[in-house]
Copies of this chain bind each other. A is one copy, B any other.
């Protein structure tokens, strides 16, 4: 019976995909508005797909190289598993983004027909295609490779390679997409507002299409790859610990009831992460359908409730199931620590990006852009305190009951609602795109009001979703870190050597910590610079079009958006190489040149710096963005849109753009990539240094 449970991910995964497909066709069948809307929608969709196609070509070459290396170092099976992990990520991104680029124009059309509920539903369905694809493909892939390879000695390596495949794609998709979206956004904004003095989303601005394309390739495709990777890494790290933990550690998983029949604890430890995530997907599916039924309600509360429910239900379900399986309620407590921790982080993030802090930023803009930027930086710094403390507390609680395996289970608990988190995350850019299309097609204020409201809701709930994502990333890295160490010691033990001493005062560890602390800054600096450089190129091209295309400024001629899309695409693909390479190769270099202890230190140093820096940048960026919107909504008496205070707030928003959508996400994924790469190469390093 027990073994039958392992079929659940490979049954539920396809079901989620079928539902996604049904939603996809439903969206496609909806009316797509007038001819102008249709044309703009097609521009955006074609631009997005063109980027994705060219990005996938680059990633294909990269994957072939890595596959060859993996086949040489770890065997053909590991190479195949890497490819599967990578391919499923690409598939989810492709499918989800295609749906999003159909949904955007149809959301605008629903708003044009005056139906807010239908507009909400269309955007939500568009997001759900991505959400269900990500979770469905992730669980299906992991479920299949575990079913096939369980019991073989390869199972650990195969799982790790799958995670590295997922991580590598996420890394490049997130950084490439992040550079694209912010280069286009900043470039179009600067050219439009500063140089040509035309409003945002104005159809004369040739950069506006690229800006909308950016939302899709960055916030839909990039984010999808990121969340897919989070889920895969959390599950794999828990399974990796379960595969190598000793009997004493396993014993904590037993229910402890005297009447309990003996259970196969190893089987359960390895299977639980997969089974609990499958249960999470089942709950998420239900929640997505309940949310669809509530389309007439207040969009903000619908989405917020949807985000917070899956972890709670999963915890309750676990409390009922664990005794039935003869397992400790420690599992439930670890899950709950992660689930509620994620919720608290989300709400704190929302506070810092939507409440008093943004009023303070807006007020600081009264004395100029400098003080506005200072206040936003301070808000971003302060905003990391509670989330990091919550992660520490969740890790402490989970560790108390189940040691390091508990920390991994907490990460799984935090990601229980992956499908819903991704749905809400992808909903945001769809609503944002719908607004842009309405503006470009000149649909009028009533339509824009609906899309604006949906967009604003998306901004807030995105903060909650980000909370789950980053909190789980930190817990996952802690788990990966432990799994790495266990893997090293496993190899040493087989070779008759004692366990590796990772004494914190060991000079190698300390030097590793210093090296690790550098890496997030390299990724942060290079991505910020990349956005600046690419945005500059876009500004130049927009200026050229306004100069050289007669009648463009008067609205009598068409811009050439394709040129801008092309510049952004080439720049993003070129600029993502360096930070991506740093992320993937630094653990390999440190591990082989300085040894396993230095690599452990490097992971710890990059975790400490990367987690705080990523949170800081994401939240400062969100706070500046909303501080600007606070003034635009007229909430700062006497200082509306166009005032000096507003101009000052726009500066903060510009700084925040690469902070929150390029560098912050890039740094957060850096630490995860380093973790999974280290785990994969751990046996090689261990043997090299025997």
A residues in contact (CB < 8 Å) with B: 186, 190, 194, 364, 367-371, 373-375, 377-379, 381-382, 384-385, 388-389, 391-392, 395-396, 399, 403-404, 407, 474, 478, 481-482, 485, 501-505, 507, 509-511, 513-518, 520-522, 524-526, 528-529, 531-532, 535-536, 539, 600-601, 604-605, 607-609, 611-612, 616, 650-655, 658
Greatest chain B CB density within 10 A among A374, A509, A601, A653 is at A374
By a CB distance below 8 angstroms, the chain B residues around A600 are 504-505
Smallest CB gap from A380: residue in B: B525
Q: Determine whether the beta carbon of A371 is less than 8 Å from that of B507.
A: no
Contact of A521 among B381, B650, B655 (CB under 8 A): B381
Cα A368 to Cα B536 in complex, Å, equals: 11
**Can you report 18 residue pairs joining A to B where beta carbons are below 8 Å apart?**
A190-B370, A190-B371, A367-B535, A370-B650, A370-B652, A374-B528, A377-B528, A385-B522, A385-B525, A389-B515, A395-B510, A403-B507, A485-B504, A504-B600, A510-B604, A521-B612, A604-B604, A608-B608
**Dominant secondary structure at the A interface:** helix
By a CB distance below 8 angstroms, the chain B residues around A515 are 388-389, 392
By a CB distance below 8 angstroms, the chain B residues around A612 are 517-518, 520-521, 609
Cα A609 to Cα B616 in complex, Å, equals: 12
Contact of A517 among B503, B522, B528, B609 (CB under 8 A): B609
By a CB distance below 8 angstroms, the chain B residues around A505 are 404, 481-482, 485, 502, 600
By a CB distance below 8 angstroms, the chain B residues around A485 are 504-505
Contact of A382 among B509, B520, B525, B532 (CB under 8 A): B525
By a CB distance below 8 angstroms, the chain B residues around A371 are 186, 190, 532, 535-536, 654
Q: Determine whether the beta carbon of B521 is less than 8 Å from that of A373.
A: no
Contact of A378 among B368, B382, B403, B525 (CB under 8 A): B525
Cα A529 to Cα B356 in complex, Å, equals: 14
Apart from A370-B650, A478-B510, A605-B608, list 8 A-B contacts with CB within 8 A.
Answer: A369-B369, A371-B536, A374-B654, A384-B521, A391-B514, A517-B608, A518-B612, A651-B651
Q: Determine whether the beta carbon of B509 is less than 8 Å from that of A375.
A: no
Q: Determine whether the beta carbon of B370 is less than 8 Å from that of A186.
A: yes
Min CB distance, A184 to chain B, in Å? Answer: 14
Q: Determine whether the beta carbon of B395 is less than 8 Å from that of A504.
A: no
Q: Determine whether the beta carbon of A194 is less than 8 Å from that of B518.
A: no
By a CB distance below 8 angstroms, the chain B residues around A525 are 378-379, 381-382, 385
Q: Determine whether the beta carbon of B384 is less than 8 Å from that of A539.
A: no
Cα A381 to Cα B371 in complex, Å, equals: 21
